[in-house]
Chains A and B, each alone.
Chain A
Amino acid sequence: MAHAHASNVKRIWTVFVILSLITIVEVALGIVKPGWSMTHIIGMKILNWIFIILTIVKAYYIAWAFMHLEGEKGSFRWSIVLPLLILIPYLIFILLTEGNYVHDVMRNGFISWDF
Protein backbone atom coordinates (compact mmCIF):
# COMPACT_ATOMS: atom_id res chain seq x y z
CA MET A 1 0.00 0.00 0.00
CA ALA A 2 1.82 3.04 -1.27
CA HIS A 3 -0.44 5.53 0.45
CA ALA A 4 -0.04 3.96 3.83
CA HIS A 5 3.15 5.63 4.96
CA ALA A 6 2.64 9.15 3.67
CA SER A 7 1.33 11.47 6.36
CA ASN A 8 -2.10 12.97 5.70
CA VAL A 9 -2.15 15.40 8.62
CA LYS A 10 -2.62 18.49 6.46
CA ARG A 11 -5.50 16.91 4.55
CA ILE A 12 -7.14 15.85 7.84
CA TRP A 13 -7.16 19.39 9.22
CA THR A 14 -8.41 20.82 5.94
CA VAL A 15 -11.34 18.40 6.01
CA PHE A 16 -12.01 19.25 9.65
CA VAL A 17 -12.23 22.94 8.74
CA ILE A 18 -14.58 22.16 5.83
CA LEU A 19 -16.85 20.00 8.03
CA SER A 20 -16.93 22.66 10.76
CA LEU A 21 -17.76 25.43 8.31
CA ILE A 22 -20.61 23.39 6.80
CA THR A 23 -22.00 22.67 10.28
CA ILE A 24 -21.81 26.36 11.22
CA VAL A 25 -23.61 27.34 8.01
CA GLU A 26 -26.29 24.69 8.69
CA VAL A 27 -26.92 25.85 12.25
CA ALA A 28 -26.93 29.52 11.21
CA LEU A 29 -29.46 28.83 8.44
CA GLY A 30 -31.52 26.73 10.85
CA ILE A 31 -31.72 29.58 13.34
CA VAL A 32 -32.17 32.49 10.92
CA LYS A 33 -34.46 30.63 8.49
CA PRO A 34 -34.18 33.27 5.75
CA GLY A 35 -37.45 34.13 4.00
CA TRP A 36 -36.30 33.22 0.50
CA SER A 37 -35.56 29.65 1.57
CA MET A 38 -39.15 28.96 2.58
CA THR A 39 -40.38 28.53 -0.99
CA HIS A 40 -41.26 24.98 -1.92
CA ILE A 41 -39.39 23.21 -4.70
CA ILE A 42 -40.14 19.58 -5.63
CA GLY A 43 -42.19 18.96 -2.52
CA MET A 44 -39.81 20.51 0.00
CA LYS A 45 -38.61 23.90 1.22
CA ILE A 46 -35.42 25.20 -0.40
CA LEU A 47 -33.92 25.33 3.09
CA ASN A 48 -34.46 21.60 3.58
CA TRP A 49 -32.88 20.86 0.22
CA ILE A 50 -29.87 22.94 1.25
CA PHE A 51 -29.60 20.98 4.51
CA ILE A 52 -29.76 17.66 2.71
CA ILE A 53 -27.20 18.63 0.08
CA LEU A 54 -24.81 19.98 2.75
CA THR A 55 -25.26 16.75 4.71
CA ILE A 56 -24.31 14.69 1.67
CA VAL A 57 -21.26 16.89 1.14
CA LYS A 58 -20.28 16.24 4.78
CA ALA A 59 -20.86 12.51 4.34
CA TYR A 60 -18.65 12.58 1.25
CA TYR A 61 -15.78 14.19 3.15
CA ILE A 62 -16.10 11.84 6.11
CA ALA A 63 -16.18 8.73 3.89
CA TRP A 64 -13.56 9.84 1.40
CA ALA A 65 -11.05 11.56 3.68
CA PHE A 66 -11.55 10.18 7.20
CA MET A 67 -12.53 6.66 6.20
CA HIS A 68 -9.94 6.92 3.46
CA LEU A 69 -12.08 5.65 0.62
CA GLU A 70 -10.14 7.95 -1.69
CA GLY A 71 -7.07 5.79 -1.11
CA GLU A 72 -8.77 2.45 -1.70
CA LYS A 73 -8.81 0.58 -4.96
CA GLY A 74 -11.67 1.75 -7.21
CA SER A 75 -13.42 -1.62 -7.31
CA PHE A 76 -13.38 -1.85 -3.51
CA ARG A 77 -14.58 1.72 -3.10
CA TRP A 78 -17.54 1.27 -5.41
CA SER A 79 -18.49 -2.14 -4.05
CA ILE A 80 -19.08 -0.28 -0.79
CA VAL A 81 -20.64 2.95 -2.02
CA LEU A 82 -22.71 1.79 -4.97
CA PRO A 83 -25.09 -0.56 -3.12
CA LEU A 84 -25.83 2.27 -0.68
CA LEU A 85 -26.27 4.81 -3.46
CA ILE A 86 -28.79 2.56 -5.19
CA LEU A 87 -30.71 1.09 -2.26
CA ILE A 88 -31.09 4.10 0.03
CA PRO A 89 -32.63 6.53 -2.51
CA TYR A 90 -34.89 3.70 -3.67
CA LEU A 91 -36.12 3.03 -0.13
CA ILE A 92 -36.57 6.72 0.57
CA PHE A 93 -38.50 7.25 -2.64
CA ILE A 94 -40.89 4.40 -1.91
CA LEU A 95 -41.51 5.24 1.74
CA LEU A 96 -41.94 8.96 1.22
CA THR A 97 -44.32 8.47 -1.70
CA GLU A 98 -46.34 6.06 0.42
CA GLY A 99 -46.26 8.42 3.42
CA ASN A 100 -47.53 11.22 1.25
CA TYR A 101 -50.31 9.00 -0.08
CA VAL A 102 -51.39 7.92 3.42
CA HIS A 103 -51.41 11.58 4.40
CA ASP A 104 -53.77 12.41 1.53
CA VAL A 105 -56.04 9.50 2.39
CA MET A 106 -56.26 10.61 6.01
CA ARG A 107 -56.98 14.20 5.07
CA ASN A 108 -59.48 13.59 2.30
CA GLY A 109 -61.20 10.57 3.79
CA PHE A 110 -64.52 10.63 5.60
CA ILE A 111 -63.07 9.86 9.01
CA SER A 112 -62.16 12.69 11.36
CA TRP A 113 -58.81 12.14 13.05
CA ASP A 114 -58.97 15.21 15.25
CA PHE A 115 -61.94 15.14 17.60
Chain B
Amino acid sequence: MEATVTTATEGKVWGGGNEPLKASYGKMMMWFFIVSDALTFSGFLAAYGFSRFKFIESWPIADEVFTHFPFLHGVDAPMYYVALMTFILIFSSVTMVLAVDAGHQLKRTKVAWYMLLTIIGGAIFLGSQAWEWKNFIAGEYGAVETRGGRILQFVNSETGKQIALHDFAAPTGEGKQHINANGYAAEKEGEAVYTVKDIVDGFTANSNIVIRTETLNEEGHKTILSREESAEKLKSAVLVVEGANLERNEYGNRLFADFFFFITGFHGFHVFSGVVINLIIFFNVILGTYEKRKSYEMVEKVGLYWHFVDLVWVFVFTFFYLV
Protein backbone atom coordinates (compact mmCIF):
# COMPACT_ATOMS: atom_id res chain seq x y z
CA MET B 1 0.00 0.00 0.00
CA GLU B 2 2.70 2.43 1.07
CA ALA B 3 4.73 1.63 -2.01
CA THR B 4 2.00 2.79 -4.36
CA VAL B 5 1.51 6.03 -2.47
CA THR B 6 5.22 6.84 -2.70
CA THR B 7 5.31 6.22 -6.43
CA ALA B 8 2.33 8.45 -6.98
CA THR B 9 3.79 11.49 -5.19
CA GLU B 10 7.45 10.97 -6.01
CA GLY B 11 7.50 13.14 -9.10
CA LYS B 12 5.83 16.03 -7.33
CA VAL B 13 7.88 15.91 -4.13
CA TRP B 14 11.31 15.49 -5.67
CA GLY B 15 10.50 17.62 -8.67
CA GLY B 16 10.31 20.61 -6.38
CA GLY B 17 6.57 21.07 -6.45
CA ASN B 18 6.14 20.48 -2.74
CA GLU B 19 7.15 23.93 -1.42
CA PRO B 20 7.37 23.14 2.31
CA LEU B 21 8.14 26.80 3.05
CA LYS B 22 5.21 27.96 0.92
CA ALA B 23 7.47 30.09 -1.25
CA SER B 24 8.53 29.55 -4.84
CA TYR B 25 12.12 28.67 -5.69
CA GLY B 26 12.83 32.06 -7.24
CA LYS B 27 11.50 34.03 -4.33
CA MET B 28 13.39 31.90 -1.85
CA MET B 29 16.65 32.36 -3.69
CA MET B 30 16.10 36.11 -3.84
CA TRP B 31 15.63 36.04 -0.08
CA PHE B 32 18.76 34.02 0.52
CA PHE B 33 20.74 36.36 -1.75
CA ILE B 34 19.41 39.24 0.35
CA VAL B 35 20.54 37.49 3.54
CA SER B 36 24.08 37.14 2.19
CA ASP B 37 24.11 40.70 0.88
CA ALA B 38 22.84 41.94 4.24
CA LEU B 39 25.81 40.22 5.88
CA THR B 40 28.17 41.91 3.40
CA PHE B 41 26.78 45.31 4.28
CA SER B 42 26.91 44.52 7.99
CA GLY B 43 30.57 43.62 7.53
CA PHE B 44 31.24 47.05 5.98
CA LEU B 45 29.26 48.93 8.59
CA ALA B 46 30.84 46.98 11.43
CA ALA B 47 34.28 47.79 9.99
CA TYR B 48 33.22 51.43 9.94
CA GLY B 49 32.20 51.06 13.59
CA PHE B 50 35.59 49.51 14.39
CA SER B 51 37.50 52.44 12.89
CA ARG B 52 35.19 54.89 14.54
CA PHE B 53 35.70 53.36 17.97
CA LYS B 54 39.43 53.29 17.29
CA PHE B 55 39.44 57.05 16.57
CA ILE B 56 36.50 57.88 18.80
CA GLU B 57 37.95 61.17 20.02
CA SER B 58 38.88 62.59 16.63
CA TRP B 59 36.25 61.33 14.16
CA PRO B 60 34.73 64.04 11.91
CA ILE B 61 31.27 65.30 12.86
CA ALA B 62 28.89 64.37 10.03
CA ASP B 63 26.57 67.34 10.23
CA GLU B 64 29.51 69.70 9.84
CA VAL B 65 30.51 67.87 6.67
CA PHE B 66 27.20 67.38 4.89
CA THR B 67 25.68 70.84 5.00
CA HIS B 68 24.71 71.46 1.40
CA PHE B 69 21.27 71.76 -0.08
CA PRO B 70 20.53 72.39 -3.77
CA PHE B 71 19.98 76.08 -4.64
CA LEU B 72 20.84 77.15 -1.10
CA HIS B 73 24.40 78.32 -1.45
CA GLY B 74 26.17 79.16 1.76
CA VAL B 75 23.19 78.15 3.84
CA ASP B 76 24.06 75.77 6.63
CA ALA B 77 21.60 72.90 6.13
CA PRO B 78 22.86 69.90 8.07
CA MET B 79 21.22 66.63 7.06
CA TYR B 80 18.20 68.12 5.28
CA TYR B 81 19.49 66.81 2.00
CA VAL B 82 20.14 63.24 3.19
CA ALA B 83 16.76 63.28 4.91
CA LEU B 84 15.23 64.21 1.57
CA MET B 85 17.15 61.37 -0.10
CA THR B 86 15.81 59.00 2.55
CA PHE B 87 12.27 60.14 1.80
CA ILE B 88 12.76 59.66 -1.91
CA LEU B 89 13.98 56.12 -1.36
CA ILE B 90 11.23 55.25 1.13
CA PHE B 91 8.66 56.64 -1.27
CA SER B 92 10.02 54.63 -4.16
CA SER B 93 9.73 51.61 -1.86
CA VAL B 94 6.06 52.49 -1.36
CA THR B 95 5.38 52.69 -5.10
CA MET B 96 7.24 49.39 -5.51
CA VAL B 97 5.09 47.62 -2.94
CA LEU B 98 1.99 49.17 -4.55
CA ALA B 99 3.16 47.68 -7.86
CA VAL B 100 3.48 44.27 -6.19
CA ASP B 101 0.02 44.70 -4.72
CA ALA B 102 -1.46 45.63 -8.11
CA GLY B 103 0.35 42.62 -9.55
CA HIS B 104 -1.48 40.33 -7.15
CA GLN B 105 -4.70 41.63 -8.60
CA LEU B 106 -3.34 41.23 -12.16
CA LYS B 107 -3.81 44.91 -12.98
CA ARG B 108 -1.22 45.41 -15.68
CA THR B 109 -1.51 49.17 -16.28
CA LYS B 110 -1.37 49.90 -12.58
CA VAL B 111 1.74 47.72 -12.14
CA ALA B 112 3.41 49.50 -15.04
CA TRP B 113 2.71 52.96 -13.65
CA TYR B 114 3.91 52.11 -10.17
CA MET B 115 7.04 50.48 -11.59
CA LEU B 116 7.72 53.62 -13.60
CA LEU B 117 7.36 55.79 -10.48
CA THR B 118 9.76 53.48 -8.63
CA ILE B 119 12.32 53.77 -11.42
CA ILE B 120 12.03 57.56 -11.40
CA GLY B 121 12.46 57.60 -7.61
CA GLY B 122 15.57 55.43 -7.92
CA ALA B 123 17.00 57.68 -10.62
CA ILE B 124 16.41 60.79 -8.50
CA PHE B 125 18.13 59.11 -5.57
CA LEU B 126 21.13 58.22 -7.73
CA GLY B 127 21.34 61.78 -8.99
CA SER B 128 21.18 63.07 -5.42
CA GLN B 129 23.96 60.78 -4.38
CA ALA B 130 26.11 61.93 -7.28
CA TRP B 131 25.56 65.52 -6.18
CA GLU B 132 26.45 64.60 -2.62
CA TRP B 133 29.67 62.98 -3.83
CA LYS B 134 30.49 66.03 -5.94
CA ASN B 135 30.24 68.32 -2.91
CA PHE B 136 32.18 65.92 -0.75
CA ILE B 137 34.99 65.58 -3.29
CA ALA B 138 35.17 69.30 -4.06
CA GLY B 139 35.24 70.26 -0.38
CA GLU B 140 34.26 73.62 0.96
CA TYR B 141 36.83 75.13 3.27
CA GLY B 142 40.14 73.39 2.77
CA ALA B 143 42.61 72.51 5.51
CA VAL B 144 46.25 71.68 6.15
CA GLU B 145 47.74 68.36 7.14
CA THR B 146 50.45 67.98 9.77
CA ARG B 147 53.50 65.71 9.74
CA GLY B 148 51.50 63.26 11.82
CA GLY B 149 48.75 63.13 9.22
CA ARG B 150 46.28 65.17 11.25
CA ILE B 151 43.98 67.73 9.68
CA LEU B 152 43.99 71.34 10.89
CA GLN B 153 41.02 73.50 9.94
CA PHE B 154 40.73 77.27 10.19
CA VAL B 155 38.01 79.06 12.11
CA ASN B 156 37.11 82.64 12.86
CA SER B 157 38.05 83.22 16.50
CA GLU B 158 34.99 85.47 17.08
CA THR B 159 32.23 83.42 15.46
CA GLY B 160 33.81 79.97 15.77
CA LYS B 161 32.76 79.30 12.15
CA GLN B 162 35.06 77.64 9.68
CA ILE B 163 36.90 79.86 7.20
CA ALA B 164 37.78 78.77 3.68
CA LEU B 165 41.40 78.99 2.52
CA HIS B 166 40.49 81.46 -0.24
CA ASP B 167 39.08 83.84 2.36
CA PHE B 168 42.45 84.54 3.90
CA ALA B 169 45.24 83.16 1.74
CA ALA B 170 46.40 83.93 -1.80
CA PRO B 171 47.58 81.01 -3.92
CA THR B 172 51.04 81.41 -5.40
CA GLY B 173 52.21 77.87 -6.10
CA GLU B 174 52.41 76.39 -9.57
CA GLY B 175 49.93 73.77 -10.67
CA LYS B 176 52.41 70.93 -10.63
CA GLN B 177 53.15 70.80 -6.96
CA HIS B 178 50.90 67.86 -6.12
CA ILE B 179 50.08 69.29 -2.75
CA ASN B 180 46.42 69.36 -3.45
CA ALA B 181 44.22 66.49 -2.37
CA ASN B 182 42.22 67.10 -5.52
CA GLY B 183 44.53 65.69 -8.18
CA TYR B 184 42.61 67.26 -11.03
CA ALA B 185 42.99 70.76 -9.66
CA ALA B 186 46.71 70.40 -9.25
CA GLU B 187 47.36 68.88 -12.64
CA LYS B 188 45.93 71.75 -14.65
CA GLU B 189 48.78 73.55 -16.33
CA GLY B 190 49.61 76.94 -14.92
CA GLU B 191 46.78 77.03 -12.40
CA ALA B 192 47.84 78.37 -9.04
CA VAL B 193 47.44 76.21 -5.96
CA TYR B 194 48.05 76.91 -2.31
CA THR B 195 51.42 76.17 -0.84
CA VAL B 196 51.80 75.71 2.90
CA LYS B 197 53.67 79.04 2.96
CA ASP B 198 50.64 80.83 1.43
CA ILE B 199 48.48 79.50 4.22
CA VAL B 200 50.98 80.46 6.92
CA ASP B 201 51.30 83.97 5.43
CA GLY B 202 47.54 84.35 5.31
CA PHE B 203 47.29 83.11 8.87
CA THR B 204 49.90 85.61 10.08
CA ALA B 205 48.21 88.48 8.23
CA ASN B 206 44.76 87.81 9.71
CA SER B 207 44.80 87.94 13.50
CA ASN B 208 41.22 86.67 13.86
CA ILE B 209 42.03 83.21 12.53
CA VAL B 210 42.64 80.27 14.84
CA ILE B 211 43.05 76.56 14.28
CA ARG B 212 40.59 73.81 14.96
CA THR B 213 42.08 70.36 15.51
CA GLU B 214 40.53 66.94 14.97
CA THR B 215 40.30 66.25 18.69
CA LEU B 216 36.80 66.28 20.18
CA ASN B 217 36.40 67.95 23.57
CA GLU B 218 34.14 66.97 26.46
CA GLU B 219 31.04 68.46 24.80
CA GLY B 220 31.74 66.60 21.58
CA HIS B 221 32.91 69.70 19.67
CA LYS B 222 36.22 70.03 17.83
CA THR B 223 38.94 71.66 19.93
CA ILE B 224 39.69 75.26 18.99
CA LEU B 225 43.20 76.43 19.83
CA SER B 226 44.25 79.89 21.00
CA ARG B 227 46.09 82.19 18.60
CA GLU B 228 49.49 81.29 20.09
CA GLU B 229 48.82 77.58 20.12
CA SER B 230 47.55 77.86 16.55
CA ALA B 231 50.73 79.54 15.35
CA GLU B 232 52.77 76.82 17.07
CA LYS B 233 50.62 74.04 15.63
CA LEU B 234 50.81 75.47 12.13
CA LYS B 235 54.57 74.89 12.14
CA SER B 236 53.93 71.16 11.77
CA ALA B 237 51.83 71.66 8.61
CA VAL B 238 53.26 69.93 5.56
CA LEU B 239 50.38 69.74 3.05
CA VAL B 240 47.42 71.76 1.88
CA VAL B 241 44.31 69.62 1.56
CA GLU B 242 41.26 70.67 -0.37
CA GLY B 243 38.31 68.36 -0.83
CA ALA B 244 38.52 64.62 -0.50
CA ASN B 245 39.92 61.59 -2.24
CA LEU B 246 40.86 58.11 -1.11
CA GLU B 247 44.17 59.30 0.31
CA ARG B 248 43.21 62.31 2.40
CA ASN B 249 40.34 64.65 3.00
CA GLU B 250 39.85 68.07 4.50
CA TYR B 251 37.24 66.84 6.98
CA GLY B 252 39.57 64.90 9.26
CA ASN B 253 40.51 61.26 9.60
CA ARG B 254 41.51 59.67 6.31
CA LEU B 255 39.36 56.61 6.90
CA PHE B 256 36.27 58.80 7.07
CA ALA B 257 36.36 59.55 3.35
CA ASP B 258 37.42 55.99 2.51
CA PHE B 259 34.41 54.51 4.27
CA PHE B 260 32.14 57.19 2.87
CA PHE B 261 33.18 56.44 -0.70
CA PHE B 262 33.16 52.70 -0.23
CA ILE B 263 29.90 52.19 1.64
CA THR B 264 27.75 54.83 -0.07
CA GLY B 265 29.37 53.80 -3.35
CA PHE B 266 28.56 50.14 -2.82
CA HIS B 267 25.02 51.07 -1.85
CA GLY B 268 24.73 53.41 -4.83
CA PHE B 269 25.83 50.58 -7.09
CA HIS B 270 23.04 48.45 -5.61
CA VAL B 271 20.54 51.23 -6.34
CA PHE B 272 21.88 51.45 -9.88
CA SER B 273 21.50 47.68 -10.36
CA GLY B 274 18.03 47.90 -8.86
CA VAL B 275 17.02 50.61 -11.35
CA VAL B 276 18.33 48.52 -14.25
CA ILE B 277 16.52 45.37 -13.05
CA ASN B 278 13.36 47.40 -12.42
CA LEU B 279 13.58 48.73 -15.99
CA ILE B 280 13.81 45.21 -17.39
CA ILE B 281 10.80 44.09 -15.37
CA PHE B 282 8.97 47.30 -16.33
CA PHE B 283 9.39 46.53 -20.02
CA ASN B 284 8.27 42.96 -19.43
CA VAL B 285 5.14 44.27 -17.73
CA ILE B 286 4.42 46.53 -20.69
CA LEU B 287 5.07 43.72 -23.16
CA GLY B 288 2.58 41.58 -21.27
CA THR B 289 5.01 38.80 -20.31
CA TYR B 290 3.47 38.40 -16.86
CA GLU B 291 -0.04 38.88 -18.21
CA LYS B 292 0.52 35.74 -20.27
CA ARG B 293 1.93 33.92 -17.24
CA LYS B 294 -1.02 35.02 -15.16
CA SER B 295 1.48 35.75 -12.39
CA TYR B 296 3.32 38.91 -11.45
CA GLU B 297 5.68 37.14 -9.07
CA MET B 298 8.69 38.54 -10.92
CA VAL B 299 7.60 42.02 -9.82
CA GLU B 300 7.47 40.73 -6.25
CA LYS B 301 11.00 39.32 -6.49
CA VAL B 302 12.55 42.48 -7.88
CA GLY B 303 10.49 44.32 -5.27
CA LEU B 304 12.23 42.36 -2.52
CA TYR B 305 15.59 43.49 -3.88
CA TRP B 306 14.41 47.09 -4.11
CA HIS B 307 13.14 47.10 -0.52
CA PHE B 308 16.42 45.61 0.60
CA VAL B 309 18.28 48.52 -0.98
CA ASP B 310 15.99 50.86 0.94
CA LEU B 311 16.59 48.88 4.12
CA VAL B 312 20.36 49.20 3.74
CA TRP B 313 20.04 52.94 3.16
CA VAL B 314 18.13 53.27 6.44
CA PHE B 315 21.18 51.85 8.23
CA VAL B 316 23.73 53.82 6.19
CA PHE B 317 21.74 56.97 6.94
CA THR B 318 21.84 56.25 10.67
CA PHE B 319 25.48 55.32 10.95
CA PHE B 320 26.96 57.86 8.54
CA TYR B 321 24.82 60.89 9.14
CA LEU B 322 23.08 60.59 12.49
CA VAL B 323 25.15 58.69 15.02
Contact = CB atoms under 8 A, between A and B. Distances in A.
Contacts of B101: 7-9, 12
Contacts of B57: 103, 107
Contact of A83 (B35, B50, B87, B148): B35
A115 B28 contact: no
B307 A62 contact: yes
A115 B149 CA distance: 8
Nearest to B62: A30
Given A72-B23, A114-B148, A66 B307 contact: yes
Given A4-B104, A55-B318, A113 B90 contact: no
Dominant SS at the B interface? helix
A61 to B, nearest CB: 10
Contacts of B181: none
B35 A23 contact: no
B259 interface: no
Interface residues of A, number: 56
B216 to A, nearest CB: 12
Given A26-B322, A91-B42, A99-B53, A31 B79 contact: yes
B128 to A, nearest CB: 15
B308 A67 contact: yes
B49 A27 contact: no
Contacts of A96: 46, 49-50, 53
A104 to B, nearest CB: 10
A23 B38 CA distance: 21
A23 B80 contact: no
B90 A73 contact: no
Interface residues of B, number: 64
Interface in A49-102: 51-52, 54-55, 58-59, 62-63, 65-68, 72-73, 75-76, 79-80, 83-84, 87-88, 91-92, 95-96, 98-100, 102
Given A55-B317, A62-B93, 20 more contacts: A1-B22, A4-B104, A7-B101, A12-B94, A31-B79, A65-B97, A66-B94, A66-B97, A72-B21, A76-B22, A76-B31, A80-B32, A80-B35, A84-B35, A92-B49, A96-B53, A99-B49, A102-B54, A103-B54, A115-B146
9 A-B pairs with the lowest CB-CB distances in the bound complex, closest first: A99-B53, A76-B21, A99-B50, A95-B50, A115-B148, A55-B318, A73-B22, A27-B83, A66-B307
